[in-house]
Copies of this chain bind each other. A is one copy, B any other.
Amino acid sequence: MGLERRQIHVAYAYQRIAEEIESQILEGTLKPGEQLPGETEMAEMFGVTRSTVREGLRRLESEGLVCRPTPRRLVVAIPRIDRLSTRSGRTMALMKVTYRELWQVTLKTEMLAARLAAEMAKDDEIAALKSLHEELTGAEGNARRTIELDGRFHSQVARIGKNRVLGLAREPVAHLLFRGFAQIAPFVPQFYKRQIEAHSNIVGAIEARDPVRAETWARKHIEDFWRGVQIAGLEDEAAVKNVKALS
C-alpha cells in the first residue's frame, strides 16, 4: 500500500503558455491557417515576458502545431506527416529495432496498401505509378537510386489506397526497412531484377483492379525481401547503424 507517485509538475510559465495555445488549437478555437498575434502582444496577454512566450512557441513549432512561413507570420498548422515519420524513424533507430521487427510489420502494411490501391485506383494515379516504375527500371544496379525510387513507389501505392492512417503508420517503417536494400544488394545481385518484376506485377494487378492479386504480389515482394535479409544474415541485426545518416 503506498503513496501513489503522481506528477506534481507545477508547470513552468513557458510550458503553460505552450499548453494554453495548444489547447486552443485542439479545441478548434484556433483554426489551421489562422494567424497568431505577435510575441509582444502574447506576452502581455499572458502576463509574462517575451522570452518566456518565445520558449513556449519553440515547442509548438517543433510539434508542428504552428509554423512560420516567414519570421513575421506565425500560423496555426496541422502537423505534417513526413515530420512525424522522421521522428518515428529516429526513435526506432535509437531503439535499435531489428530487421525482423520492421519486416514483420512491413509485410502486413504493404499487403494492405496494395489491396487498397487495387480497390481505389484512379487512372491518373496508375499513370503516376507506372512512370515511377519505369524510372526504377532504369535505375537497375544503382542501389542508392533504387532505394529512393522504391520508397516512392511504395508510398505512391499506399497513397492510391486513400488511407491516411496506413500512410502514417507504414511510412517510417517501410522507409527504414527498405534502406536495408543497400546491405542486401551486394549479396544478391539479382535482387534488382526481382524487385522490378514484383513491382511490375503489382502495378499490373492494381491496373486490373484485382485486389487479391495485388495483395499476393505485395506479399511475394516483401517475402522476397526477407530472403535477402536472411542471405545477408541481418535478421536480428539493428536496422540502422548510424542514426545520423537517416535524414
**Residues from 80 to 123 in A contacting B, C-beta threshold 8 Å:** 81, 84, 87-88, 90-95, 97, 100-102, 104-105, 108-109, 111-112, 116
Closest Cβ of chain B: how far from A232's Cβ, in Å? 19
Question: Do residues A88 and B94 form an inter-chain contact, with CB atoms below 8 A?
Answer: no
Among B84, B92, B116, B168, the residue within 8 A (CB) of A165 is B92
Give Cα distance in the complex from A28 to B125, angstroms: 41
Given that A32-B94, A51-B51, A94-B32 are contacting pairs, would A101 and B165 also be in contact in the complex, using a CB cutoff of 8 Å?
Answer: yes
Give Cα distance in the complex from A88 to B83, angstroms: 10
Question: Do residues A91 and B62 form an inter-chain contact, with CB atoms below 8 A?
Answer: no
Number of copies: 2
Interface residues as binary, A53-71 with B (CB distance below 8 Å gives 1, 0 otherwise): 0111011011110000000
A-B contact pairs, 15 of them (CB 8 A): A14-B58, A26-B244, A27-B243, A28-B243, A54-B55, A58-B58, A63-B87, A64-B91, A92-B168, A97-B165, A101-B164, A101-B165, A104-B165, A104-B166, A105-B165
Which residues does A use to contact B, with CB under 8 Å? 14, 23, 26-28, 32, 51, 54-56, 58-59, 61-64, 78-79, 81, 84, 87-88, 90-95, 97, 100-102, 104-105, 108-109, 111-112, 116, 163-166, 168-170, 173, 242-244, 246
